Amino acid sequence: MISRVLLSLLALTPLGLVGQIDGDNIFSVDQVIAIDLAFPQANFWALMEANYEADENEYIAAHLTLTDVSGTHVMDSVGVRLKGNSSYMHPGDKKSFKIDFNKFISGQNYDGLKKLNFSNGFKDPTCMREKLFFDVCREVGVPAPRASFADVTFNGEPWGFYTVVEQIDDQFLDWNIQEDSGNLFKAGDNFGGGGPGGGGGGAEADLVHYGNDQAAYEERYELKSNEDANDWSDLMSFLDFVNNTTSDAFAAGIDFRMDVDGFLRSAALDMLFSNLDTYTGSARNYYIYHNMDTDMWQWIKWDGNEAFGSYTNGAGNMETLAIDYSDFPRPLLENMLSNPDLYARYIEHVCDLVDHVFNEAHMHAQIDATAELIAPFVYADSHKMYSNADFDTNLSANLVSGGGPGGGGPGGGTTYGLKSFVTNRASYVLTQLECPTSHVVGPAASGLVVYPNPAKDRIHVQLDCTSGADVRLTNLVGQVLRAKRIISAGVVQFELGDLPAGTYVVEVLEAGKPALRTHVVVL
C-alpha cells in the first residue's frame, strides 16, 4: 500500500538535490557557534543604543571571531547594530542585533553570507521556538530563513545565548527560489510610526488596496530590492486584483498571479502553531516576492519567535484557536478561505501538516533533540529572561508568569509548553476537521520525490513502494494530462513542453483513487 506521505517538493527539491550553498557552515548541521565581538570604543553599548533610539540603523565596527564546525574565522571591521521591536523590551543588555560582514570592508563575508540576525529569545523560556518553527516551514516547502544558535560574547564578556537567523535578501532568493531580480517587499513593523530600529510606518501591512499612489503603501511596506528603480506598480496592481475583483474572478485568476498553495500552506502553519504575529494577526513579519520567472508572487516567512501561541492578538486560548482565524481586514486570506475550492485546498494542507509534522511523534522528537543540544548554553546564560527551571518546565508544560516583558503580555499570562501545546492543539484541530488518516502497512512507501519544482521542460516522479503505483498529472479542474505507472522503487518522467505556464497537480493513485497529491508550477 502507499502511505499518504508528505510532498514537500520545495523542501526536497531543488534544495535536497544541490551541492553546498552559502551559509551551510552554520545552518547545515545542528550546532551552537561561538561568536566574540570586540569593539574598540569603550562606549560601544551607549553608541548602539543611541543609534537604535534615533531609528537610524547605523552600524558600528567590531572585530569578529566566529567558531563553527568548519573552524575559527576572524574578520576585522564587521558592522553591528541593535534590532527588533518588542524584543528590545528584553530586560538588561541582551538585545537582538544584526551583523553586516561587508558594511565597512566591501566583499567581506562569512561562508558567502553578507548579514546574520541574532534573536534574543524574547518571550521564549525554551529559546527554541523560532528555530523549531522555521525548520518545520522549510521541511514542508514553505520559504523561510534558516536558523541556528550562538553563544555570544562582547569584548570577551558573556552576553547571552542567541538564535541565529538568516537574512532575507538576494542570496536567500538565489538558493531558495532561484530567481532574485523581482521586487521583494517586507511588511512594515507598524509599531506607531515604524518604531525604533524598524521600517515602514505605523499602518498595517494588511494587503488592502489603497489606490494607486505609491506613498500610501510606503508607510506599510519596505522595498528590499530594486531600491533605485523604486517602482511599486506591481504590488499595487496585485492588491487591486485581490481587493477589487469579484469572488469568481479572484478564484479564477489568483493561481496565475500567486503561488497559492505556498501561501495556503504558510497560513496553515500559522494557524496550527497559533503564530499570530504575522499577516494573519498583527499584519507584520512576512515578506512577499514577485518572482520574475513565473510572474507570480511568493510568500516568505519571517520572525517566528512567538509561535506556539505566544502572541495572542486578543484571540483567547491559543490551543483552541479557530482553524480559519484571521484579523480584519486581511483580504488575501479572507478571499481564499471564503471560496469553497480554495478553502478545501487550505484544509488539505492543514490535514497533511497534522498528519506528518504537527503531531507528537514528529515535534516532540525535535523538541527533545534541540533541548539536548542547547541546554548547557541556556543554563549558562546569566542574561536570559527566564530561569533554568522555567526552561525545563516550558519544554513540556505551560508556564504562568507575571506581567512585564515576556510575561505573557500586559498583566502576565500563560506561555504554552511546547510539547503540551502540540498535543492539545493537534487534538483540537482534528476534532474540527474530517482529515483522512495515514495508512502504512509493513514496508510501504518510504519516500516520494518530485523534481524540479518549479519546472519548465519535464518533471521526475520518484516513489518507493512495494507494489507499484499509477501516477498522473492533471490541471486544476481535474483533467488528466499525463499518466504513467511507477514500478517499485522506480522513477517516471513527464514531459511538460506543450503545457502552458501555470499550476498543475501530481497525483498518485491507489486502487484507482487519489492517495497522494501535490501542486507543481510549470514555467
Mean pLDDT within 35-51: 97
pLDDT tens-digit readout, 330-376: 999 999 999 999 999 999 999 989 988 999 999 999 999 999 999 99
- The contacts found for 111-114 with CB under 8 angstroms, 24 or more apart, are 111/22, 111/23, 111/24, 111/25, 111/26, 111/70, 112/21, 112/22, 112/23, 112/171, 113/22, 113/23, 113/26, 113/166, 113/167, 113/171, 114/167, 114/169, 114/171
pLDDT at 120 over 90: yes
Q: How confident is the model at residue 377 (pLDDT cuts 50, 70, 90)?
A: very high
Q: Which strands sit side by side in the sheet containing 458-464, from one edge to the other? A: 447-451, 458-464, 490-495
Please provide residue 43's backbone torsions phi and psi, each rounded to the nearest 5 degrees.
-100, 35
Percentage of the chain beyond pLDDT 70 is 87
**What does the pLDDT read at residue 467?**
65
Are the beta carbons of 222 and 200 closer than 8 angstroms?
yes
Assess whether pLDDT exceeds 90 at residue 85: no
Q: What is the pLDDT of residue 452?
A: 85
Task: Taking residues 19-46, report their average pLDDT.
Answer: 94
> Does residue 483 or residue 490 have the better pLDDT?
483
Check whether 263 has a pLDDT greater than 50: yes
* pLDDT attached to residue 444: 32
pLDDT band per the 50, 70, 90 thresholds, residue 61: very high
Which pLDDT band holds residue 465 (cuts at 50, 70, 90)? low
Predicted local confidence at residue 311, as pLDDT: 92
* End-to-end CA, the chain: 33
Which residue has 527588533 as its cell numbers? 84
Which residue is associated with the grid cell 500610501?
Answer: 216
Residue 311 burial class via C-beta count within 10 angstroms: exposed 0-12, middle 13-18, buried 19 and up: buried
Q: How many helices (H) and strands (E) does the chain have?
A: 14, 20
As a dihedral over the C-alpha atoms of residue 273, residue 352, residue 132, residue 418, rounded to 10 degrees, the angle is 50
pLDDT of 14 higher than 70:
no
Q: Report the chain's mean pLDDT, rounded to a whole number.
A: 87
> Which of 388, 389, 374 lies closest to 151, judged by CA?
374
- On the question of pLDDT at 18 being above 90, the answer is no
How far is Cα of residue 471 from the mean position of the Cα atoms in its chain? 30
Residue 474 has pLDDT above 70, yes or no: yes
In this prediction, residue 489 carries a pLDDT of: 59
Q: CA torsion angle for 280, 282, 283, 284 (degrees, to 10)? A: -120
* Whether the Cβ atoms of residue 149 and residue 27 lie closer than 8 Å to each other: no
Per-residue pLDDT tens digits for 200-221: 446 999 999 999 999 999 999 9
Residue 6 has pLDDT above 50, yes or no: no
pLDDT at 2 over 60: no
Q: Compute the average pLDDT of residues 30-38.
A: 98
What single DSSP character describes residue 119? Answer: E
Helix (H) or strand (E) holding 432: helix 418-432
CATH assignment, 442-522: 2.60.40.3080
How much is the average pLDDT of 164-183?
A: 96
Q: How confident is the model at residue 403 (pLDDT cuts 50, 70, 90)?
A: very low
Report the SS3 class of residue 34. Answer: strand
Element at 285 (helix H, strand E): none
pLDDT beyond 70 at 195: no
The 10s digit of each residue's pLDDT in 293-344 is 999 999 999 999 999 999 988 888 999 999 999 988 999 999 999 999 999 9
pLDDT tier at 19, thresholds 50, 70, 90? low
Coil, helix or strand at residue 170: helix
The overall longest dimension of the chain from CA atoms, in Å, is 73
Residue 10 above 60 pLDDT? no
Q: Which of 179-188, 191-200, 409-418 shows the lowest per-residue confidence on average (mean pLDDT)? A: 191-200
pLDDT at 442 over 70: no
Domain residue spans in the chain? 181-356, 442-522
| Cα(460)–Cα(388) distance, integer angstroms | 49
Per-residue model confidence (pLDDT) at position 254: 97
- Split at pLDDT 50, 70, 90, the class of 447 is low
